[in-house]
Structure 1
Amino acid sequence: MTEVSGLRTFTLTVMGSTDLHGNLFNWDYYRDREFDDYAHDDVGLAKISTLVHGVRDAVGRHRTLLLDAGDTIQGTPLAYYYARVEPITRTLVHPMAAAMNAIGYTAAALGNHEFNYGLEVLRTFERQLDFPLLAANAVDVATGLPAFQPYVIKTVWRTGGPPLRVGILGLTNPGIAVWDRAVVEGLLTFPGLVEQALHWVPEVRSKSDLVIVVAHSGADLSSSLGDQVPFPENCAELLAETVPGIDAVLVGHAHVEIPQRFVLNKVTGRPVLLTEPLYWGKRLSVMEFDLEFDGRWSVVSSQSSVLLSSSVAEDPRIARLLRHDHAKVINYVNARIGTCLGAMSADRSRFEDTPALGFINHVQALEVAKSTSLPVLSLCAPFNRGAAIPAGEVSIRDVAGLYPFDNTLVGVRLTGGQLRDFLEESARYFQQVSSGGPFSAAEVSADVPDYNFDIAYGLSAPLTYDIDIAAPVGSRIVGLAYDGVPVDDSVEFAVAVNNYRQGGGGDFPHIASAPVLHNQQQEIRQLLIDWVKAAGVLDPAAFVRSDWRLVAAGSPVIVSTNE
């Protein structure tokens, strides 16, 4: 500790993870091997643990805090297993909780995916943590008060001078009210992040020398919620520039990497530090705050960077602690449930009708057909480009790879005109082109996530249409027909969709307000697994269709997926 002109100085290092999504080890349960992607990133808390201990060893543990910005208990077969197959209890601790406790997290914010398995699982997970789970804007309808702890004040004593008080405010995503309506409706509301921060930050600031917001909301102002809620989905930068008194924001939800970004607060003119460490434990954000004490601690400067999980080995302590939990999941996903008569891949499902997506749509449609006499259609997105079911024996992981999300099935009523509008919105997925190519996948794909490109399927008769990507957005669906007859705007269909889409995810027209015909909280992935178990044999030939085509002014578009 040094003194400069009578001022004491201290540097605090705050580390942050986000969007871990059930990734404990560097393991791909769907491929039954170590995780690898095109960037050769590694994932998982065991890797994060090694990075954290490296930082602590370098600067001194007493000079560090460790935070997480949410989406922890959903996203992998491990997460599913300990929510549905062998649910966590008072005595069965969630492996993610056990790992985070062992690593020594200071606090975490709630993510929207924390609600996917219901409030009972979430509350059990919360009780298992040795640190607070924060969400100032998850409000109890009955009391009007936060349903979770809004903030925590952490006192750092070993500064070489007066103690340093760090206020950590947690904010979650208002989209929960839409995406998990079935879980939270009538129980919780989710006001906007900026609005709640304006209320809570002054209180936290009055008790703190340094204020960090942990926000499960992307940095750049955008939203997939449309006008369903009056608050934006992603607004961390707006939060930083609008609410005075914030020193830094650990950003989550958007799955992008922000090593360091400064935003000037419009009230104080002071810079606010933002950082987001990618997702799945691929990165660890490291924020450094240089502070001086002159009557009270204040931030003189700050900076941040990210560390790569691929640069270190897994922490053997985490491996020893949780290897049995990991082994249970491996055994579960490798259980044989049937056979497949030929290989089925989702690789080209973005650009042509494939049996892989046809299988998903068929199972969804079959289930909804039990609840209606209307002609049944189904909508499904190509969630996992790498998904493939091999010829021969089929395991749970093979089928689950086609549908990695924990969505449930909903059936709604749409008219032909509404269906056409929906498909036009889906067709935004593609760039406008002037010919049929050939193109690379990147040349025809717009900046739209794969999960927002829905493909339609008719159960009892084909639903056929072309997507003309030589035409502008909004005028691309050509020749829409059901059983060979042009679809009239007034004809009615029962349409199978997932709860994310029906809840308004992606802001597609009509779907969120459509009358609900079927909603039994059935997980789509489990419906696929159960179908294969019951049938015993999966025959790709049964799902070979050519119901939709990608064209440019009537000519087929040729796309290479060798990326």
Structure 2
Amino acid sequence: MSFLAGFQPMTRRSLLGGIAASSALVMLHPFAARAAANQAHLRIMETTDIHVHVFPYDYYADKPNDTLGLARTASIIDAIRAEAGNSMLIDNGDFLQGNPMGDYIAYERGMKDGDVHPVIKAMNVLGYDAGTLGNHEFNYGLDFMFKVLAGSGFPCVCANLTKGQLASDPKQDELFLKPYVIVEKQIRDGSGATSPVKVGFIGFVPPQIMVWDAKNLEGKAQTRDIVDAAKAWVPVMKEEGADIVIALSHSGIDGSGLSDRMENASLYLAGVDGIDAVFTGHQHLVFPGPKDFEGITGADIKKGTLMGKPAVMGGFWGSHMGLIDLLLEKDGKSWKIVDFTTEARPIYHRDENRKIVADVKDKAEVTAAVKDEHEATLAYVRRPVGKTSAPLYSYFALVADDPSVQIVSNAQTWYIKDMLKEGPYKDYPVLSAAAPFKAGGRGGAEYFTDVPAGDIAIKNVADLYLYPNTVQAVLITGEQVKNWLEMSAGMFNQVKAGAKDAALLNSAFPSYNYDVIDGVTYQIDLSQPARFDKDGKLINPDAHRIVDLQFDGKPIDPAQKFVVATNNYRAGGGGKFPEIAGDKVIFVAPDTNRDVVVRYIVEQGTINPSADANWSFKPLPGTTAIFETGPKARQFAGEIKGAKIEDAGDGENGFAKFRLVL
């Protein structure tokens, strides 16, 4: 029977109530409170996918953000240690890149020998016991990464990153880092006596870094399959006396079946003999939890186990602290696990109005350690990193090809072509799907992108891309491209030929689902009814709003295969677009769409966001339609390509009305 039979797990609120002040009674974990003389409670805490988010601050939006920041997670660390009989702290990778502070240090300030990177400064304050590498550690090159690691106050391990060709036996690989470390920790048992336990930590990175960072790694490094490396090294750790073996797996959870060089291999890693617990990450999700990994055989989303072993994934950007609590029992001279609990504890919650409420404050020692770099980063994001030769605005994004959408699409195409240039999809044509995010509606008459021509700063990218999505690519047919666009065309009401000032926009259709696909040309026939409903269900089989769809100047071949660059939301089935789901995904990028736009601007120097008018409405003689947008749109109405637009006066709630002449 479980030691915890009948026990009600602690919640965040009960914890905060129990540690409300330094004088308050600490609520111990049951393992700590009830351990016998030969038993000890060991709590292992995980941070993962910090991505340089030390401060609770969104540098793109240039404002505080209560959902992120290692300085906030650090406050949880103090409280969580207070609950535990004994504790250790690990990091599961992706700490080095992912926000403008990381780019500022890498591209602007640089790393001299002896410098300590700001994220390492913050981590050193907290006393980590071990860490591993994530895929983003390689984004700035090996030399930069090793300069950063040199400042670390804790060992970093990785068992599947080699300096050259793979040996026939993984144990013969020439590795960049130690494959594992065995930490001898003095722990206090239920009687108060102390004795050592040997905790082994072994680390893994996704093998796909050889594709994602080929320019930095080709000819310099190689990667081995995660599960193969574990099977080779875990027995060695046991032979060297590790009482328990903890996998630090910067690899997600995928139940599709074990395959060679699997990116998200943590489920099958947990099945390796000798591994006692798995810390996972990389996917920016939460485990255990109610939804992210539901239905995966071998993953218990309530108990928090993979293949029956304790496992946790602690969100991203410091949003959660991953916890694995172990009840250890002494068996002769060694320790074994006799019970466990797992938890991903957040730093914030949403109230009944869905408003974000911070549960903890900053840890002053962490913010103080990185204060200078934070202020330097603010100056960095507020100054120009490139130029735009034309204004970037979204006032007409729903009625004509639009510069704010165009630049995102250009950046996605540029990125995906580069990422796939050496792989099996290198010869497929690349299209790009992008949608306007700031397009008025419920956001109000000021809720539009509006960046003037001239200098463009990193923070302006937040105006172009609101969400922290990541880039993905799908492989689909020409017919599926057409249906993707048919679904997008649900943005519009049906307009009968000859109608005067008909209402154009479907107010129930969100603008972020109005995808424009670049790389093809097409028209939208508003006289037709919508082919699909809001759930992607075919409701009008004979309706075809998308007409004259062409690729390379010719009618699109329904059977031809296309790679389409998009984001993880759409590629994963977000918006319920017909036949667009995870089974079509061929590439999952390690980068956010925002980061890709920033890189594109830096690469280009001066961007040309002028829309190429690859789509328009099919002419309907004698027909007009009315739509609303921001009043600032009036200065741009005369320069819209592919559409005739007239000022139709003022609308309600500060909006301006315009007439589309069809």
TM-score normalized with structure 2 length: 0.61
Does 2:615 match 1:547?
A: yes
Counterpart of 2:96 in structure 1 is: 73
Does 2:124 match 1:101?
A: yes
Partner secondary structure for residue 325 of structure 2: strand
Counterpart of 1:372 in structure 2 is: none
Letter of the 1:90 counterpart: D
Match of 1:324 among 358, 361, 372: 372
> 8 Å contact 1:164–1:297 — kept in the other structure?
yes
State the shift of 1:169 in Å: 0.9
Partner secondary structure for residue 366 of structure 2: helix
Counterpart of 1:25 in structure 2 is: 55
Counterpart of 1:335 in structure 2 is: 383
C-alpha distance 323-389 of structure 1, shift in aligned 2 (>3 A): farther
1:184-223 → structure 2 map (5 Å cutoff): 184-206=217-239, 207-221=241-255
Does 2:562 match 1:525?
A: no
> 8 Å contact 1:432–1:469 — kept in the other structure?
no
Distance 2:105 2:482 in 1: 34
Partner secondary structure for residue 84 of structure 1: helix
> 8 Å contact 1:381–1:455 — kept in the other structure?
yes
Partner secondary structure for residue 73 of structure 1: coil
Instruction: Note the residue ranges of structure 1 that are not aligned, 5 or more in a row.
Output: 36-40, 369-376, 409-417, 446-452, 501-505, 513-521, 550-557, 559-563
Letter of the 2:208 counterpart: G
C-alpha distance 391-171 of structure 1, shift in aligned 2 (>3 A): closer
Partner secondary structure for residue 288 of structure 2: strand
C-alpha distance 456-286 of structure 1, shift in aligned 2 (>3 A): same
Match of 1:464 among 516, 522, 538: 522
Distance 2:182 2:396 in 1: 48
State the shift of 1:313 in Å: 0.3
Partner secondary structure for residue 195 of structure 2: coil
Match of 1:397 among 446, 449, 458: 458
Match of 1:274 among 284, 307, 311: 311
State the shift of 1:440 in Å: 5.8
State the shift of 1:490 in Å: 13
Distance 1:232 1:2 in 2: 38
Q: From the CA coordinates, give the structure whose radius of gyration is larger.
A: 2
Counterpart of 1:152 in structure 2 is: 181
Distance 1:161 1:301 in 2: 20
Counterpart of 2:324 in structure 1 is: 287
Partner secondary structure for residue 543 of structure 1: coil
Distance 2:307 2:556 in 1: 58
C-alpha distance 56-6 of structure 1, shift in aligned 2 (>3 A): closer
State the shift of 1:486 in Å: 2.6
Partner secondary structure for residue 131 of structure 2: strand
State the shift of 1:22 in Å: 1.7
Partner secondary structure for residue 46 of structure 2: strand
Partner secondary structure for residue 125 of structure 1: helix
> 8 Å contact 1:7–1:294 — kept in the other structure?
no
Match of 1:137 among 139, 152, 160: 160
Distance 1:191 1:132 in 2: 21
> 8 Å contact 1:215–1:251 — kept in the other structure?
yes
Distance 2:216 2:253 in 1: 27
C-alpha distance 419-253 of structure 1, shift in aligned 2 (>3 A): closer
Letter of the 2:75 counterpart: T
Match of 1:247 among 269, 276, 279: 276
Letter of the 1:163 counterpart: P
* Larger RCO (CA within 8 A; separation ≥ 6): 1
> 8 Å contact 2:433–2:564 — kept in the other structure?
no
State the shift of 1:156 in Å: 1.1
- Percent of matched pairs sharing the same residue: 26
Distance 1:6 1:288 in 2: 16
Does 2:286 match 1:257?
A: yes
State the shift of 1:102 in Å: 1.2
Does 2:208 match 1:175?
A: yes
Distance 2:216 2:482 in 1: 27
Letter of the 1:253 counterpart: H
C-alpha distance 105-3 of structure 1, shift in aligned 2 (>3 A): closer
> 8 Å contact 1:222–1:232 — kept in the other structure?
no
Letter of the 2:393 counterpart: M
Letter of the 1:93 counterpart: V
Task: Describe the superposition over 1:275-316 as per-residue Cα deviations: whole angstroms up to 9, x where unpaired.
Answer: 111111000012111011121211110101122223110111
Does 2:381 match 1:344?
A: no
C-alpha distance 239-158 of structure 1, shift in aligned 2 (>3 A): closer
> 8 Å contact 1:211–1:248 — kept in the other structure?
yes
Letter of the 1:48 counterpart: T
The alignment covers a number of residue pairs equal to 486
Distance 1:189 1:426 in 2: 40
State the shift of 1:81 in Å: 0.9
Match of 1:481 among 550, 553, 556: 550
